[in-house]
Structure 1
Amino acid sequence: MSSNVTDLAKQISGIITTDIGLFILTTGLLGNILNIIVFLSLKTFRETSCAFYLTSASFANIIQLVATLFSRILITGYNIDLTQTSLFLCKLLINAGYSIYYSRFLFPILLGFLPLIIRIIFGLLAFVNVRRLKKHQTPIVRLEHDKQLTTMVLVEVTIDVLITLPYIIYNHIYSNSVTFYDPISNAQDQLIIAVTRIIFYGNFAIAFYIYFCVSSRFRKQLVYVFVEIHLKRWRERTHRNGTNQIVPQTPDILQKTDDVN
């Protein structure tokens, strides 16, 4: 009975990591790339420090998804372990000092609490900035633009907290302090870790979809960037290449040209 429960828990954990992980990886890469295109295509975003932070966060999200989630999908679903093919990664894996550093500082602090605290600080600064602009005679366009970015950042930070805390609390506070002796409890623990971990990875994939849902202005900007800027440029480039194309002359035309000359 215990072996059946253990096998089922492992199977569910694998499905969560592989199937849901692939979905999060695909949608996350697409969403972050769209964020970068929109933020870099519009002058109003390029001149704003808050938008610069969002652009940098999108690049960081892509790196995080590829470096952590993709490698975990390869190991769990396809038995491809990059640490077995890379000498550098293999040395890091078997290095005791690095293992302690990774488990006690790198993952819980640098990849857990610290990014969360930084996002909360940026969200509060964005909110304070909008409150400050309201007290001054700020142009309506600038004020509406800052309101848009503030709303996007605050909603993202709120969802970040809700997504990140369960994983950090369970994996680095509870799970590391409790020892599971029977196989069923250990399998249940691994299943909970798989669920909270995949939700945690979703934190790096949902930014674009948050902006799209909470900001009608962002939706209009997205359409404008792709239709009025990039699609129009592509059409102009295609038309220009078509008009500059040299039409080859047939032998009959060449003969008539020689007769005229």
Structure 2
Amino acid sequence: MNILIFLSVRSYRKTPSTFYFLIISITNIIYILINLISRIVSTGFLIDLTRTSIIWCKARLSLIGVFGLISFTCSSLATIDQFFATSPNVQLRRWSNIKWTYRIILFTILLCILYAIPCFIYLDISPNTKTCLVTNNAYNFYLSLYSLSLISTFPVIIMSIFGYLTYRHINLRRILMRQSADRQITRMTLIQVILVITTITPYGIQITYNLITTGIYKDTDRIIKESFSLTIISLLTYVYFVGSCYTFLISSSRFRRAVKDHICFRRRRAQVAVLIYPIQERIVFRN
């Protein structure tokens, strides 16, 4: 639904923050299709292609890393853009520019693809356990640092700081700030900040705990508890990838109206089709 709205409403396509939201929505859907569905198939139907196909083993985790990183980076960039867009300083407001947004997104995508190259190289199916894992210990440690920094710590810190500064700008400028539509985009961004912080912070804490306790002996009971905790926290991160539409519906009456218009338009088209079809049948019958 997010993609449909952001593509169909011209002002959304031409606004830097909402264009970031469009990219986030696209990457989130791809992330869910690749990650969550494959997990459901693996757990529910016991069909795990990562154990049998080396190509899927390499591609799945590499693509998850790419699209996850693009999504979190664009969330951070959308918050930074709103900081510029709401600033009382004219020079800073000029940094909120759709042309720059296109270039930044292109650069971000290329950078994330470069990140995935070593991931694709070092992933392999273990001959002993028949599981898909990283075969290089140094790169495996790097992945833990990557998850802690680029996926959790940096996005949370950046969005917290610039979200707070944006909120200060709103309080300073109040009604004089901008048009109502732009204020709603700002609210959408701030709600997105809250969504990221609440869903990703626990994951960062879990990764930090895992790094600290790497060299510590753990009995079976502790391993089971940690595995259960990681599963719950990992499921919580999915709320970020599927929750954007709901946060936008809550925070923006304009977005709700656009969704309602599209739903009503589809219903009207369906009703017209139902009415036209019998008429066409009668005409053919008479002829």
TM-score by length of 1: 0.65
Counterpart position of 1:43: 10
Taking a change above 3 Å as real, the CA distance of residues 81 and 137 of structure 1, as seen in their structure-2 partners, is closer
* Cα separation, 2, equivalents of 1:131 and 1:75: 49
2:212 aligned partner:
177
Aligned match for 2:192, one of 156, 160, 182: 156
> Take 2:222 and 2:21, find their aligned partners in 1: how far apart are those partners?
41
Q: Which stretch of structure 1 is more off in the superposition, 118-127 or 69-78? A: 118-127
Q: Percent identity?
A: 27
C-alpha distance in 1 between matches for 2:152 and 2:177: 40
Q: Which amino acid aligns with 1:69?
A: L
Contact 2:51 2:57 in 1 (8 A): yes
Partner of 1:112: 152
Deviates more, 1:186-195 or 1:126-135: 126-135
TM-score, reference length from structure 2: 0.60
CA 239–49 in structure 1, closer or farther in 2 if over 3 Å, else same: farther
Q: Which one-letter code corresponds to 1:174 in the other structure?
A: Y
- Conservation of the 8 A alpha-carbon contact between 2:170 and 2:177: no
Count residues in correspondence.
Answer: 212
Mapped pair 1:100 → 2:134? no
Question: Could you say which structure has the larger radius of gyration?
Answer: 1
Structure 1 unmatched runs, 5+: 1-33, 254-261
C-alpha separation between the residues in 2 aligned to 1:182 and 1:245? 74
Helix, strand or coil at the partner of 2:242: coil
Number of the residue aligned with 2:98: none
Partner letter of residue 154 of structure 1?
A: L
* Structure 1 pair 215–137 and aligned structure 2 pair: CA distance change class (3 A): closer
- Counterpart of 1:220 in structure 2: which amino acid? R
8 Å contact from structure 2 (residues 196, 240) kept in 1: yes
What amino acid is aligned across from residue 182 of structure 2 in structure 1?
D
Q: 1:181 to 1:41 in 2, by over 3 A?
A: same
Matched AA of 1:148: Q
Q: Structure with the greater relative contact order (CA < 8 A, sep ≥ 6): 1 or 2?
A: 1
Q: Distance in 1 between matches of 2:281 and 2:124?
A: 57
Which residue number corresponds to residue 86 of structure 1?
A: 53
Deviations 1:111-159 (A, max 9, x none): 4345545655775686588679869785xxxx11111111111012112
* Gap regions ≥5 residues in structure 2: 59-122, 126-133
